[in-house]
Amino acid sequence: MDVIDLKSREVFGDEGRGVAVLVEEPNLMIRQVGLEPGKEVPVHTTDAPVTLQVVHGEGIFSSGEESIRMGPGKLLRLPEGASMAVRNESANPLVFLVIKTPSAPGPVRDPVLGAKPGTFINLIDFAPLKPGKEEAFRVWFHHSSEVLAKHPGFVSRTLLGPIEGGSRYAAVVEHESKETFMDMQLSDDREELFRQAEPLILGPSTPHFFETLLSYRNK
């Protein structure tokens, strides 16, 4: 039996918005989001069926042209691919759960050529994180990946973390071509997202560029 104390996992972050990972399983992901008064979760697209439940406080939950003011005692369900945004227009903090139920993974592809040859790869070597910024950095990476995934040519974005107590992280970004990657790299989205990451890391990050020649994966 696993009991999660929601109060002890409340996170609001330096900018009045925070996310705590409560459950991370293949078919179930639960996040607890905290929003101070006046803060919001910007419009984004759900990547799995989502259920939202307010723990305490009250907020405006929007999807497309519809909005609802919701507090504790109700569930809001959204299908995969729906637009979603949350605003805290009240005078008190808002804490709510985001419950995702991804579909079971499909059949494993043939292990040979697990990635398409010619895929453009960007390996980002992040500078060391500032002390105490690990959770905020992971939240930033998750949010930035959701935004950048909307750009044409996006294939994947993977965060790599230190194993033996280090403070450096890396990321592998896959795009269909160098051209689609550069379009994303020069976008306003990318500039704004990496500006948001500056308070979390000690200095600039170093990019390395590659092209996929062959990928082999075991089943």
Q: What are the distances in angstroms from CA 36 to CA 46, 79, 117?
A: 23, 27, 46
Residue 217 confidence class, pLDDT cut points 50, 70, 90 = low
What CATH number is associated with residue 13? 2.60.120.10
**Rounded Cα distance, 122 and 116, in Å:** 15
Position 203 scores a pLDDT of: 87
- In this predicted model, what pLDDT tens digit does every residue of 79-133 receive, in sequence order? 998 999 999 999 999 999 999 998 755 554 444 444 455 688 999 998 888 888 8
CA dihedral (88, 8, 102, 194) positive or negative: positive
Q: Are residues 21 and 64 in the same domain?
A: yes
Position 106 scores a pLDDT of: 52
- In this predicted model, what pLDDT tens digit does every residue of 191-207 receive, in sequence order? 899 899 999 998 888 98
- Per-residue pLDDT, averaged over 13-28, amounts to 88
Q: Are residues 206 and 128 in the same domain?
A: yes
167 occurs within a structural domain: yes
What CATH number is associated with residue 145? 3.30.70.100
Hey, which residues does 124 pair with through a beta bridge?
171, 207
Q: Are residues 32 and 87 in the same domain?
A: yes
**Rounded Cα distance, 123 and 212, in Å:** 12
Position 116 scores a pLDDT of: 54
Last residue of a domain, one of 66, 100, 134: 100
Last residue of a domain, one of 100, 133, 148: 100
Position 161 scores a pLDDT of: 86
Range of the domain at 156: 120-211
Q: Are residues 149 and 192 in the same domain?
A: yes
Q: Which two tokens stand for residue 182?
A: 């550069």
**Rounded Cα distance, 147 and 133, in Å:** 21
Pairing of strands 75-78, 94-100: unpaired
185 occurs within a structural domain: yes
106 occurs within a structural domain: no
80 occurs within a structural domain: yes
Hey, which residues does 114 pair with through a beta bridge?
none
**Residue 35 carries which DSSP code?**
E
Q: Are residues 60 and 126 in the same domain?
A: no
Position 179 scores a pLDDT of: 87
How many folded domains does the chain comprise? Answer: 2
109 occurs within a structural domain: no
Mean pLDDT of the chain: 87
- In this predicted model, what pLDDT tens digit does every residue of 133-159 receive, in sequence order? 888 988 999 999 999 999 998 989 999
**Rounded Cα distance, 96 and 76, in Å:** 11
Q: Are residues 125 and 95 in the same domain?
A: no
φ and ψ at residue 142, rounded to 5 degrees? -65, -50
